[in-house]
Amino acid sequence: MGFRLKKLSGYEGVKGPLFMIIMDGVGLYRGEKDGYPGNAVEIAAPRTLCHLMEHEKIALRLKAHGTAVGMPSDQDQGNSEIGHNAMGAGRVFAQGAKLVEEAIESGRLFEGNTWKGIIANARAKKTPVHFIGLISDGNVHSNIAHLISLVGQCDREEVEEVYVHGLLDGRDVPPLSALRYFGEMEDYLWSLRAQADLQGKRRRYFVASGGGRMVTTMDRYEADWSIVERGYHAHVLGEGPRFPDSLTAIRALREKEKVDDQYLSHWVIHDPEDSGKPLTQIGDGHGVVFFNFRGDRALEISRAFVEADFTGFQRKTHPAVLYAGMLQYDEDTHMPPHYLVEPPTIDRTLPEYLAESGVPQYAVSETQKFG
């Protein structure tokens, strides 16, 4: 198809160069919410921004959340990745959360070669499937509903061992809400074990390790590889303070550290028969799924599992696992090579139309954004 731009009738606009300046964290919310000022930038009353917003010809208010930017519902908040995709492309695409939801509901995810390979590997080798990721319903990096669907499908496909390595949120959800989400996860895993017992089947489905997202596993932009190292050693080797279950771990560490969920130290669940041993370790032949759909905080841990010549930290061991991401987190480096859901296809973008129309463009970025 041709890339033709048609002038809007009845809109004169402003003559001259057009600047698109993306300022992360700047929004138009006004007033108080839950006792907190809603918009620090607006409270500061920046002179130039306020001046621009007062002129109808150059000011237009856009929604930055929900279906307007490709999220599943209008209850879903936007984020940096979603905003950069929508503004940079100039049109709306289905974003990660919506793509995953649709793939699960339609069954396409479970019909894909990557999922089938993970299940076939687990059943043939009698090895576990490990799920690593953020446990909450914030729908910014992940959604607990997606994890429950994946674990449930493992049960239906007769996978005997599943371990969840859960990261505490407290950032895209209330700061001390982890017990709710981990409680839901523990209850679900217990129900699968109980049902299996009644049917005479073996199901070893447990939470195995975890930690706060800002100190365990989910670093981004290579800011602090020790965050990834801490998580890798907890998930793979079972290294860290040991507890009988995730709820006990969260309560004990909250009491000790007095911090919000996102900063809570890493922890490991011990073997029920030997508190000196971890419940599990990730070994050769195991399946590992990182179930976050957003890429920025999923990329480094993916590299730690996938890259043979990895240099981010000393892994101590590098098991030969079948690793998959929920999506492919970096298309430029094809990381990870295996993923469950196809990422959004970004095409027919505004820059393409401008280029075809002979409009000169110049783009500058301080750091590479995922979008």
Helices (H) and strands (E) in the chain, counts: 12, 10
Angle at 33 between CA 28 and CA 35, to 5 degrees: 135
Report which DSSP code applies to 7: P
Instruction: Tell me the C-alpha distance between 127 and 321, whole Å.
Output: 10
Please give, one letter per residue, the 3-state secondary structure of 281-326. Answer: CCCCCCEEEECCCCCCCCHHHHHHHHCCCCCCCCCCCCCCCEEEEC
Residue 183 structure tokens:
């409680």
Residue 4 structure tokens:
């033709």
Antiparallel, parallel or unpaired: β 36-37 and 32-33? antiparallel
Residue 170 gets the label, from left (phi > 0), alpha (psi -120 to 50) or beta, of: left
Q: Is 80 one of the catalytic residues?
A: yes
Q: How far is CA 250 from CA 100, 166, 178, 205, 348, in A?
A: 29, 11, 8, 19, 47
With CA atoms as reference, report the closest residue to 89 among 67, 66, 61, 70. Answer: 70
- Give the type of residue at 166: G
Q: How far is CA 25 from CA 2, 36, 237, 267, in A?
A: 35, 16, 38, 32
Instruction: Tell me the C-alpha distance between 68 and 91, whole Å.
Output: 10
Instruction: Tell me the C-alpha distance between 354 and 151, whole Å.
Output: 46
**Burial status of residue 321 (CB atoms within 10 A of its CB: 0-12, 13-18, 19 or more):** buried
Sorted by sequence, the CB contacts under 8 Å of residue 26 that are 6+ apart come out as 41, 49
Instruction: Tell me the C-alpha distance between 106 and 265, whole Å.
Output: 38
Indicate which residue of 80, 265, 275, 302 is catalytic. Answer: 80
Known catalytic residues are 80
